[in-house]
Amino acid sequence: MDQPTQGNRRKTNRLTPIGTNRLEKFRDAEYAVAHSSADWNAQAVTAAKGYLTSGQGFSQAGLIAQLTSPSGSQFTQAQARYAIAHSGADWNGQAVTAAKGYLAGGPGFSRDSLIQQLTSPSGSQFTQAQAEYAVTQVGLK
C-alpha cells in the first residue's frame, strides 16, 4: 500500500468538532451574527434596492412586508423602515412597473379594477394616488 505523501494527505476540518448538533450550530451562527460588525441598516438598504430593481414593482408597504418576512429577508421593522427612507425609490415608477406586470400577466383590467388591484391590502398596497398615476401612465383612461 502506498504511503501518504505530503501532497495527498487527507485534510480534516479542525474547526467543527465531530458530533456538533444543529442547536450548537445555530447558537454559533447566532453568536457570529450578534458579534459581527455588520451594518444591518446598510444591508437592509442594499436588499431594498435589489427588490426595487427586480422589475416587480413594490409599494412601500409591500417592500416592508418583503424585507421583514420570515420567508424574505427577515430584517426588523426598524431596519425595513430605514431601508425605505434611504432607498431612493420612485414609488410612482414602482406603481407603473406593477401595473404593467398585471396587464401583461393577467386577464384584462378596467381602469377601476387595476386601481383596486394596485391598492388592495392583498394586492400591491400602493396608495390611491400612486395607483391612479400608474393606470394613467399605462394608458387606461
Q: Where are the domains of the chain?
A: 38-89, 90-141
For the 38-89 domain, the top CATH level (class) is: mainly alpha
Amino acid occupying residue 78: A
Find, among 92, 103, 137, 98, the residue nearest to 120 by Cα. Answer: 98
Please report, rounded to a whole number, the percentage of residues in the chain having pLDDT higher than 70.
Answer: 80
What do you get for the CA distance between the two ends of the chain, in Å? 83
Same fold, 38-89 and 90-141: yes
The pLDDT assigned to 94 comes to 98
The pLDDT assigned to 141 comes to 85
Please state the pTM of the whole predicted model.
Answer: 0.75
Helix residue ranges, H only, 53-127 = 60-68, 77-86, 91-105, 111-119
Q: Return the higher-pLDDT residue of 62 and 107.
A: 62
Band (pLDDT 50/70/90 cuts) for residue 30 is: low
Q: Return the higher-pLDDT residue of 32 and 113.
A: 113
Average pLDDT, the chain: 86
Q: What is the mean pLDDT of residues 115-132?
A: 96
Q: What is the mean pLDDT of residues 11-32?
A: 62
Architecture per CATH, 90-141: Orthogonal Bundle (1.10)
Q: Are 95 and 124 in contact (CB under 8 A)?
A: yes
pLDDT one-digit tens code per residue, 42-58: 999 999 999 999 999 99
DSSP per-residue codes, 18-47: TT--HHHHHHHHHHHHHTS---HHHHHHHH
> Can you tell me the distance from the alpha carbon of 124 to that of 121, in angstroms, rounded to the nearest whole number?
7
Find, among 100, 107, 101, the residue nearest to 136 by Cα. Answer: 100
Name all contacts of 111-114 with Cβ < 8 Å and 24+ positions apart.
111/135, 111/140, 111/141, 114/138, 114/140
